Homo-oligomer: A and B are copies of this chain.
Amino acid sequence: MEVKCFDRATLEGILRFPGVLETVESVYRSKASGETVVWPTVTHYFDGKDAVMDIRSGYDMGNEVYGAKMLATFPHNEEKGLPAFSGILVAIDGTTGLPIGIMDASFITSMRTGAAAAIGAKALARPESETLMVVGTGRQSLFMIGALLTAFPGIRTVLCAEPLHMENAVPYAENCPAKMKEMFDIDTDGIAFLPVKDLKEATGHADIIVTITRSTAPIIMRDWVREGTHFSCIGADMEGKEEIDPAILRDAVVYADDVDQCVRAGECELAIKGGVMAEEHISGQIGEVLLGQKPGRTSEKEITVFDATGLALLDLAVAKQVVEGYEDGTKINL
């Protein structure tokens, strides 16, 4: 059987945010319609290597694609000149069981994660939002900004915050416009990119806050947050990770990409384990809001949170889009 293979460089040339946003939104809708299956994630920590890998898999019946994504983070690779973060994705035709695509998973993961943050915001944030704050200046954070700027053309200010080393936000914010153009072909004329010096103060100015750090303790506190703020909590995707004060979750309208997964390993995990909120406080999955089955935000004043832990379904649907839409990949026989 012939399988199309796509490396990272090819995917970088192909994938753009408007398309990925549409795909991610369609998967969230399918999921809320019961047309998807998320299989249990396998996670393994490598003793003594400071490394972790996971295997996420699922089946999107709407798109008739299933498969698995295997991601690995091996920080010591950089000492050997190898990528610290890598991944491979296998997409299989749900009508035949035959593989249709094999591709680098790192770029797709970044793109669909940015898109997830943006779709969560589109569903829950105030539509007139003008000020975005992105907390975290790692490589993933640029994808958050690119996706949010695509979903919210009205954004005029992007606050860039690096909670561990505040000063790193200065060069980061300076480079942002060039990066947006280079990576996503996004023009940022008329948008101010500002480094955050005082996280408390900046929090009070933001309409939308995306958290994308590796934090294991709250970075943003409840009493810093003004009414009407939306959070897309992206960084907390494994047990023990936490980015915002559990009291924010307690006082907010909360939706998840997948409720069980967020309870187990998302931003909600520690808030629930700590007894600050009950599992039932999660209103549902984001797809229910997109389908109009659940209300989402019901007033200008509510704080809203979208807790996303990541779904292989998103990657698989993007992979199918790539396989069907492009001939650029290398073809191999398997």
Note all chain B residues with C-beta closer than 8 A to A80.
96
Would A44 and B59 be within 8 Å (CB), given that A5-B334, A332-B7 are in contact? yes
Summarize A's interface: helix, strand, loop or mixed: strand
Among candidates B57, B88, B92, B97, residue contacting A99 with C-beta atoms closer than 8 Å: B88
Q: How far is B330's CA from A311's CA once the two chains are assembled, in angstroms?
A: 31
Q: Mark A26-55, 1 if CB is under 8 A from B, else 0.
A: 000000000001011010101001010101
> Would you call B70 and A98 a contact (CB within 8 A)?
no
Inter-chain contact A334/B82, CB cutoff 8 Å = no
Question: In chain B, what residue has the closest Cβ to A106?
Answer: B334
**Chain B neighbourhood of A95, CB < 8 A:** 49, 74
**In the bound complex, do residue B97 and residue A74 qualify as a contact, i.e. CB atoms below 8 Å apart?**
yes
Minimal Cβ-Cβ distance residue in B for A10: B333
Across the interface, do B70 and A82 meet the contact criterion of CB distance under 8 Å?
no
Q: Could you tell me if B68 and A70 are in contact, using CB atoms closer than 8 angstroms?
A: yes
Report the bound CA distance from A102 to B103 in whole Å: 11
Could you tell me the distance in whole angstroms from the C-beta of A249 to the nearest C-beta in chain B? 30
Contact of A98 among B49, B82, B333 (CB under 8 A): B82
* B334 pairs with A104, CB closer than 8 A: yes
A95 nearest CB across to chain B (Å)? 8
Instruction: Find residues 1-37 in chain A having any chain B CB closer than 8 Å to their own CB.
Output: 1, 3, 5, 7-9, 37
Contact of A103 with B334 at beta-carbon distance under 8 Å, contacts A40-B42, A44-B66 already known: yes
Instruction: Tell me if A163 is interfacial: C-beta within 8 Å of chain B.
Output: no
Determine if A63 is an interface residue (Cβ-Cβ < 8 Å): no
| Given A44-B37, A77-B97, A334-B8: A70 in contact with B90 (beta carbons within 8 A) | yes
Distance in angstroms from A55 CB to nearest chain B CB is: 6
Given the known interface contacts A1-B86, A332-B330, the answer about A77 and B53 at a Cβ–Cβ threshold of 8 Å is no
**Assembly CA distance A268 to B51 (angstroms):** 37
A73 touches B97 (CB 8 A): yes
Residues of A in contact with B (beta carbons under 8 Å apart): 1, 3, 5, 7-9, 37, 39-40, 42, 44, 46, 49, 51, 53, 55, 57, 59, 66-68, 70, 72-74, 77, 80, 82-83, 86, 88, 90, 92, 94-99, 102-104, 330, 332-334
Can you list 16 A-B pairs with a CB-CB distance of less than 8 A? A1-B82, A1-B86, A5-B332, A7-B332, A39-B44, A40-B42, A42-B57, A49-B95, A72-B97, A72-B98, A74-B95, A74-B96, A77-B96, A83-B98, A86-B98, A102-B102
Shortest beta-carbon contacts, A-B, top 10: A72-B97, A74-B97, A7-B333, A39-B42, A88-B99, A5-B332, A104-B334, A330-B332, A7-B334, A86-B98
13 more CB-based (< 8 A) A-B contacts, given A1-B82, A53-B92, A102-B334: A3-B88, A7-B332, A9-B333, A40-B42, A51-B97, A53-B97, A55-B55, A70-B99, A72-B97, A86-B97, A86-B98, A86-B99, A330-B332
